[in-house]
Amino acid sequence: MALLQFTLGFGQTDAQNKATSSSPLAEQKQSLLEAHSNLIRKNNSFLTANREKIFSTELERFNSIIDSLEQTVQKLVNKYERNFEEIGSPIIDSLSTETKFKHKRYRLLYPQNYYRFSGFNKKAVVSGDYFENVMKGSFNSPSLLQFKEYRRCVNFYLDILSAGEYKFSHLEYVPVKRLDNRYDAIVDLDAHQSVKDFFIKEHFTSNIWTYRVEAFDYAFAKVLEDVKNQDYIKEIKDTYKMGKDRRNDASEIKVYKTVDGITLNAHIFYPKNHDKSQAKPAHLFFHGGGWAIGLPEWSYGACKASTEEGRVAITFDYRLRNIHGTDVKASVSDALTAIAWVRENAKELGIDPNKILADGFSAGAHLALVSAMIENPEDFGVTSKYSSKPDAIILGSCPYNIAGRDVYNINYDTRTISPLYLIEENLPPILAFHGEDDDMVEFSEFEKFRDAIQKTRNSFTSRSYAGAGHFYFRGSSQKDSDERRRLTEEFLLKNGFKME
């Protein structure tokens, strides 16, 4: 569930790519590129393997380690520069630039990782303008935009700025409207206009796949004032329109909740030739994203597949940290409201109110599960007289223990929304899948929940997969995929959500 993180892979620039044709000179260039890439990979592996020790040291020691790593790479580049003058300055300059900004990004990571590895109890001793000093002089040359490591470094810097007062803390659970803050951070940069225009364009075209289109209303209203590049303006407008048009795949979209001026929608998919007088089971999908990012459109494919088996499928907006500045409890409140809304409107939707299947992945799985475990929805602001409990649940990579996970501005006991602490008898039947190498939701969480619920009389069927991570279905073997498909079909048949 880690939020807005960028991979540390190394990518070639256009100048580097041109050096790969077949010739003696090209072979020298290729040798340099391969040596550089291998050293970057080696250093990155070292940093990853020792990150707790490296990032928990004091700043002077940390800088000396990063300096040493950076110098080993630069020495390699200098060596090739001396031996192969024919390689040319564009290649040498590009490798030096990529190296510089990769290591700037490591330095940007220091304060939040120091806080993380101190158990969220101690902040790094750095100056108030630490991040600005790291990035000083980085925004005046549009030519830098060609470099992947530069773009990654600046994007992470913008993520830091978006955290506002929390920028020296761990960024994952910052309860602020970071998407809007991020846009403002770009506009406020002391930067060349072309650099600002590029990152505003990227703000739209990259994040549109992560957030619902309404999340961009604030920024879209300012684009004509803030962006000078007309090609970028057209691309932004096209992206915004696409965000709206993609919703045409849903049969209809209805508002299920309005809270604090925020409108939350149910995206509804009906089976072909759906006769609303013939009630069908409902299949509800809650998207993942760490309660911070994500959008209902991620579940559109699953919704369509569900309708082909005769169910009415619905996927929901819910409040998210990065858009609304809320914590997990707000997301839980919205999930409870959503399920009650489905029952309240069952006749209008052509749904059997006694056949409500809640399905979710990651944070969405948590919402699906915890909705069945909360006895008093009114404690979460839900006033509906209809039940918020689903009749069956399917979970993928579910966080089972979030006690203490929200580390900022929480004034309630998070065990009240942590499934591990809410196990009781008479829960709906549950089908759960989990990867044993999950680095976002530790496998031990799953094991503790599995062992605890199996001591009850509840129906709990699960499978875990050795070597599989959080997204256990990616690259999954055919055998494992077939097993999940079989178990899901058996679960649906057994609980009345699929006809023979």
**pTM tops 0.75:** yes
Contacts of 276-280 with C-beta under 8 Å, sequence gap 24+, read: 276/347, 276/348, 276/349, 276/350, 277/350, 278/350, 279/346, 279/350, 279/351, 279/352, 279/353, 279/355, 280/310, 280/311, 280/312, 280/350, 280/351, 280/352, 280/355
Q: What is the pLDDT of residue 484?
A: 97
- Residue 9 forms part of a structural domain: yes
* Domain count for the chain: 2
Do 256 and 399 sit in the same domain of this protein? Answer: yes
pLDDT at position 76, please?
Answer: 87
Buried b (16+ CB within 10 A) or exposed e, 257-276: beeeebebbbbbbbbeebee
Is the residue at 234 inside a domain? no
Q: 141 is written with which tokens?
A: 């040359």
- Phi and psi at 454, nearest 5°, equal -75, -10
Contact 78, 39 (CB under 8 A): no
pLDDT of 10 strictly over 60: no
25 has pLDDT over 60: no
How does pLDDT run across 71-128, given as a tens digit for each residue? 999 988 887 766 555 556 788 889 999 999 999 999 999 999 999 998 888 999 999 9
What tens digit of pLDDT does each residue of 329-351 get? 999 999 999 999 999 999 999 99
Q: Is 173 within a domain?
A: no
Among 140, 162, 194, identify where a domain stops. 140
Query: Is the model more confident about 14 or about 83?
Result: 83
Q: pLDDT category, 147, cuts 50, 70, 90? A: very high
The answer to whether position 320 is within a domain reads yes
Where among 140, 156, 175 does a domain terminate?
140
- Residue 484 belongs to domain with CATH number: 3.40.50.1820
Confidence band for 241, pLDDT divided at 50, 70 and 90: very high
Which residue type occupies 124? A
Q: Are 76 and 39 in contact (CB under 8 A)?
A: yes
Is-contact 422 373, C-beta < 8 A? yes
pLDDT band, residue 5 (cuts 50/70/90):
very low
The whole-number pLDDT of residue 30 equals: 77
Does some domain include residue 312? yes
Mean pLDDT for 234-256 is: 98
Q: What angle do CA 321, 327, 332 make, to 5 degrees?
A: 105
% of the chain residues with pLDDT over 70: 92
Looking at every residue in the chain, the average pLDDT score rounds to 92
Q: How far apart are CA 227 and CA 241, in angstroms?
A: 18
In a domain, 65, yes or no: yes
Residue in this structure with the two tokens 């998919």, named with its chain if needed:
269
Q: What is the pLDDT of residues 415-453, one digit of tens each?
A: 999 999 999 999 999 999 999 999 999 999 999 999 999
Instruction: Over range 373-386, report the average pLDDT.
Output: 96
Tokens of 106: 């490591």
DSSP SS3 for 268: strand
CB-CB contact of 229 with 197 (8 Å): yes
Q: Is residue 53 one of the residues assigned to a domain?
A: yes
Domain range for residue 395? 250-494
